[in-house]
Structure 1
Amino acid sequence: MRWSAAALLVLALMGCSGGGDRPTAQPGAPATLPAPGTATLEPAKARSLQDVLAKVVAVPDSPSGSRGVTAAVVTDNWVWSGAAGADIRGTPLRPNTSIPVESITKTFVAAEILLLAQAKKLDLEAPLSTYVQHKLTANNATVRQHLSMTAGVQDFQSADYGELADAVAAAPSRHWTIDESLNYFTTAVKSPGGSPSFSNPSYALLAMLIEKVTGGPFAAALRRDLVAPAGLQHAAFQDGEKPQPPVVGDDNDSCGEPDGYVPCRAFASATAPYGGLAADAPTVARWGYQLYGGRVLPPGPTGELTKGTDYGLGTMLMARQFGLGTAYGHVGDGPDHSSLLVVIPEKRVSVALILADGGRNIGVPMAELTKALEPLLS
């Protein structure tokens, strides 16, 4: 397996559109946006957006190309979604194809933690060890520091991922607990504080916190508190839920026959807290609009998401890299899929882009998509 989410985070922090200055401190999100639009963008106006997708699949082997792509845009006036190309099995993609969006899962985990803090069920400034006793919480990093990836808990190393992949591949249909996957973490924990450093284990610990506070599976809490209120129709937190069809084809040799999960239950459950979400592009775009538009969390917690210089709380701060205004969102990357959510609240627009290939420079087609969007938003 190839895991490059950490590399993508570095690219995002340095300018994931392929250029531009390093982000500076960002203001909090603006006041609550209007409800997302329901009208479909006129076909003649949507042609420029579909042309961007056609360009992606025209050069599938380029660093920013892909064999298949789906995308969606949500504004306060209209919505659009499109697709081009096919998955690795040759099945044509549709706008509503469920595809793993990997680290975009972290935006949901962060939002749930902030909701629980708002309800006084946990304290962001308390050490995570107050609630979750684990070897990775022994340095007394706070809940907020884990959210902001400044807890001193580094990411899994390549060897860790390799051993984990071998173990889950031995039984592709087995459910893995969060604690079982964390047993494969081998890097020494550092003192908390300092600059953000990509950490999947921190978000695994935060999922454990959600389960400790709510008394149930974290996927159930995310559905109850976030998915349902945001009106999301096509989101599944594996392996607590199976992706809704149509589902992208996968070709992971370790998984054997398809079992309804992507790529299979063992891999999906082992990475569930930080990368288990499977969704279609319209769902991801709607989620971004609702979240950063202040329609899921109260104004205070919404602003907390976007505080910082590089990484907020479960949120990448993208400055003006995509040309339309200050952007927030998250990148996701796995062995066979890349995804990017970009929300520009001042323009009342949310954009989701998903590629049927992993490790791609997805910021390039996203920049082309937002450029095509500009005349449609005026």
Structure 2
Amino acid sequence: MRWCAAAVLMIALVGCSGGGEVPVPAPDTPAALPAPGTQVLSSDKAQALQNAINQIVEFPDSPSGARGATAAVVTDHWTWSGAVGTDSQGRPLRADTSMAVASITKTFIAAEVMLLAGKGKLNLELPLSRYVPHRLTANDATVRQFLSMTAAVPDYQPSGFARLDEASAAAPEKHWTLAQSLDFVGGHLGEPGQAYVYSNPGYVLLGMLIEKLTGLPLAAALRRDLATPAGLRHAAFQDGEKPQPPVAVDSDKACGPPDGYLPCRAFASLSAAPGGLAADAPTIARWGYQLYGGRVIPADLVDQMTTSEGEYGLGTMLFTQQFGLGEAFGHRGDMPDHTSLLIVVPAKRVAIALLLTNGGRSIDPRMADLTNALAPLLG
């Protein structure tokens, strides 16, 4: 991750302490972005962004369409958010409607692990088994390999997902621990460090690592160390926290009637570490700006998260130039009723979140529509 700090940021950091030399970062030291802007984008400029998301509901059954969408943009000067369409129950969406953002949760898990490493609480190069003994850590893959999904831990297989659905349907109100969610993992461990293999169970194990080292439930640790410092007021780490209204109601058949969680408490707790976060688009955009802007964990740690020879760093997807604004970082998320995408372009000092009220959608083209409309506004 590479960007230049504004002179005004350095002045703000030094303040009026009086005299002395202004400290200058080492040439290779990443610097944090300025604080996110607070001014709301003027309505005449905002219309182009609203038009971009309005297209999503024109053909809701198309691969990249949806019944509803919310979006938000955060820059160093201004913010914007918008909504269109409805949730699965036909209720109109608001820009602050919470949805399940699924694997965007992994950015929080990775950031917390990196923060703990930066504080000397763990060593990224040691096997995770040193901290979390488990059959799925028995191949001695390192903490860093778990973060980068090169630990050779199998993902849930279709049969495992089916059993997860059955467990949710049998007791939608049940709370499952992180360790219990791993009972649904089949397959065999491979040789770590060989290849990237997407693994939700790997992030469950990292969630267990966080609980062990902090002595807190996962939701409490993420709230204390990340959400509160980042100023996130409308994020819920399920099922330790319940989504704040308004909430886009799910229609997941495995969950029965809505219970305030997304899609229900059982499913939310089973996916807590790899995908349990519920939030609105402005919150996700702000989180992306604060995280990848080096404002919530040290920028040198963020640099490690966003450095990779492939398309996945540490809890971070690397989007290179595919959205037209420059080198971008973030994550996709997919739940049965919601599809989400967060991208951050540090060089442009901008973070963008897009949430759809249908699962399994091709969201990248819709994000490209939004970034095309956004580009002229960034200067």
Q: TM-score, normalised by structure 1?
A: 0.92
- Greater C-alpha Rg: 2
Query: How far 1:257 sits from its partner (Å)?
Result: 2.3
| Structure 1 residue 275, shift from structure 2 partner | 0.5
1:338 equivalent to 2:336? Answer no
2:311 maps to amino acid? D
Deviations 1:193-233 (A, max 9, x none): 12311100000000000011011111110000000000011
Partner of 2:320: 319
Q: SS of 1:129's equivalent?
A: helix
In the alignment, what sits opposite 1:230? 230
Where do 1:169-248 residues align within 5 Å? 169-248=169-248
Counterparts of 1:78-117 in structure 2, within 5 Å, are 78-117=78-117
Q: Is the 8 A contact 2:30 2:300 kept in 1?
A: no
Contact kept? 1:29, 1:345, Cα under 8 Å? no
In 2, Cα distance between the equivalents of 1:204 and 1:182? 8
**Would you say the 8 A contact 1:69–1:354 is kept in 2?**
yes
Match of 1:24 in 2: none
Indicate the residue corresponding to 1:153 in structure 2: 153
Distance 2:300 2:328 in 1: 18
- Deviation string 1:294-330 (CA, Å, 9 cap, x unpaired) is 1011122111110102100000011011111100000
Change (3 A) 1:342 1:30: farther
Distance 1:210 1:260, change over 3 A: same
> Once structures 1 and 2 are overlaid, which stretch shifts more, 193-202 or 88-97?
193-202
**Partner residue in 2 for 1:162:** 162
Does residue 61 of the first structure (1) align with residue 61 of the second (2)?
yes
SS at 2:291's partner residue?
A: helix
Offset of residue 180 of structure 1: 1.1
Q: Which residue of 2 aligns with 1:250?
A: 250
Offset from partner CA, 1:16-35 (integer Å, 9 cap, x none) = xxxxxxxxxxxx99521100
- Contact 2:291-2:302 at 8 Å conserved across structures: yes
TM-score by length of 2: 0.91
RMSD, matched Cα:
1.0
Determine the C-alpha separation between the residues in 2 that align with 1:166 and 1:97: 28
1:341–1:353 contact (8 Å) kept in structure 2 = yes
Q: Which residue of 2 aligns with 1:8?
A: none
Matched ranges for 1:281-296 at <5 A: 281-296=281-296
Structure 2 distance, partners of 1:194, 1:221, is 31
Gaps (5+ residues) in structure 1? Answer: 1-27
- Percent identity of equivalent pairs: 62
Q: Distance in 1 between matches of 2:31 and 2:53?
A: 32
User: Is contact 1:29-1:303 (8 Å) kept?
Assistant: no
Q: Is the 8 A contact 1:110 1:313 kept in 2?
A: yes
2:266 counterpart of 1:266: yes
Q: Which structure's relative contact order is higher, taking Cα pairs within 8 Å and 6+ residues apart?
A: 1
- Cα deviation, 1:134-191, whole Å, max 9, x if unaligned, reads 0000000000000000000021111111011101210000100111110110111101
The offset of 1:255, in angstroms, is: 1.7
For residue 351 of structure 1, give the secondary structure of its aligned residue in structure 2.
strand
Report the 3-state secondary structure (helix = DSSP H, G, I; strand = E; otherwise coil) of the residue aligned with 1:163. helix
